[in-house]
Amino acid sequence: MGEAVAIEKCINEFDVDQVIFEEGSTGRELFVVLDGKVEIAKLTSTGKTVIVTLGKGEFFGEMAVIDGSSRSATAIAAAPSTRVMRINHARFVYLVSQQPAFALMVMDALSKRLRASNAATFRATAP
Q: Quick one: CA dihedral 103, 14, 42, 39, positive or negative?
A: positive
Whole-number pLDDT of residue 7: 61
Task: Give the count of alpha carbons within 13 A of 99, CB side only.
Answer: 11
Which pTM was predicted? Answer: 0.84
* Domains of the chain from N-terminus onward: 9-125 (2.60.120.10)
Whole-number pLDDT of residue 5: 57
Does the pLDDT at position 115 exceed 60?
Answer: yes
Does the pLDDT at position 41 exceed 80?
Answer: yes
Whole-number pLDDT of residue 18: 98
Smallest CA-to-CA distance from 72 within 95, 40, 48 is with 40
